Amino acid sequence: MNGRGTVAWVNIDNYLWNLELIRNTCKKDIMPVVKADAYGHGKIELSKAAQNEGYSKFAVAFISEAADLIKNGLTSQILIFGYCEPYELKDYIEFSDYIVPTIFSAHFIEQAYALLGNDIRKFVFDIKYNTGMSRVGINDYEMDSVIDLIKKYNLRIRGFYSHYATADDLDDFVSIQYEKYLKMLEYILSKGISISLRHMSNSAAAMFFPQNSLDIVRPGIATYGLQPSSKKYINGLKPVMEIKSKIIKLNTVEKGETVGYSRTYTAKEKLQTAIIPVGYADGYFRSLSNRGRVLINGEYCDILGRISMDQMTVDVTGKNVAYDDEVVLIGQSNNSFISADELADICGTINYEITSKITSRIRRKYIKGGVIFE
């Protein structure tokens, strides 16, 4: 039971709708990105729902995330974007039919082979190439040594990929990266490396540059119904998460009285306030103090004072509210709406951070076909 009436509602039907919208736009297969617990939405239920609809490739950041999915019933290939410790490959070798580690250095290959020996061939790998992000992708000057080691140890290679730095900015660097990718792809193929899966596109690239989609695209943020760019709006995306709580106390605050830690809000007139049992320990940003708002019965109510670890205060003066009334922090109430994008703008961050930081203290409930489950 959730004793404070606070729930993150995750709509699986909306998630599947967004996947189909992206697929219809780019005309390519989809590799849903479900890292960071599906950006805070719940990777297990969403991945299983997508797999049931025929999606057969997924991506996460770390091997532990992939193992969690496999242990909970996912039987698809799962790309690991991030670094895998060689001992992790050994620990999870029983899942080698599903886990696809990324090669992004000769050092990794040498370390992995030293520990695994010929068992390294139980895994199939993707190669990541740096076309402009300058993070973990293989640089031009490193590629020959990586190719030599792939051949030396007879590694099994599935894919060759990179990542756009500015697809959300809709600028010319997208074309520069794409051309660099194609040139290196041609080179590694000429060296006898077989590639069966070419991929590069994130949400913004899949939607705004569908001509660059290659064999498969890797959308993340757009699959959750959130906009991947501030430069261009995508019609038709359906937000997947709503966060709702309730009023647990009503107070009268007299003119001149203050609210919250450090007394950052002083009442200019007599107010009625409502206490909501959600705070920054739930992942609701403290920087929304005195700046954010919630929805109660379809009306916007401003946050007053500092958001505490476990609760916040909102202004309900002149509004028809009562104990236990529903409070919407993200989502819709009547015809009014608060989006993760709105909260991100106020906090000076991106919508990715808003949902991915919602902690496990807020219980997730899933909706599919009108059925609610956990």
Residues belonging to the active site: 35, 261
Secondary structure class of 120 (helix, strand, coil): helix
- The sign of the CA dihedral 339, 341, 345, 351 is positive
- The sign of the CA dihedral 260, 265, 268, 274 is negative
Phi, psi (5° rounding) for residue 99?
A: -85, 130
Phi, psi (5° rounding) for residue 143?
A: -65, -40
- The sign of the CA dihedral 334, 336, 340, 341 is positive
Q: What's the CA gap between 305 and 311, in Å, rounded? A: 11
* Residue type at 95 in one-letter notation: F
Burial 119-148 (b: 16+ CB within 10 A, else e): ebeebbbbbbbbbbeeeebbeeebbeebbe
- The sign of the CA dihedral 124, 129, 133, 136 is positive
Alpha-carbon distances of 230 from 86, 166, 206, 208, 266, rounded to whole Å: 39, 12, 16, 12, 35
Cβ proximity of 275 and 303 under 8 Å: no
Give strand ranges (E) for 4-111: 7-11, 29-30, 57-60, 77-80, 99-100, 102-103
Q: Which residue, 253, 258, 262, is CA-closest to 286?
A: 262
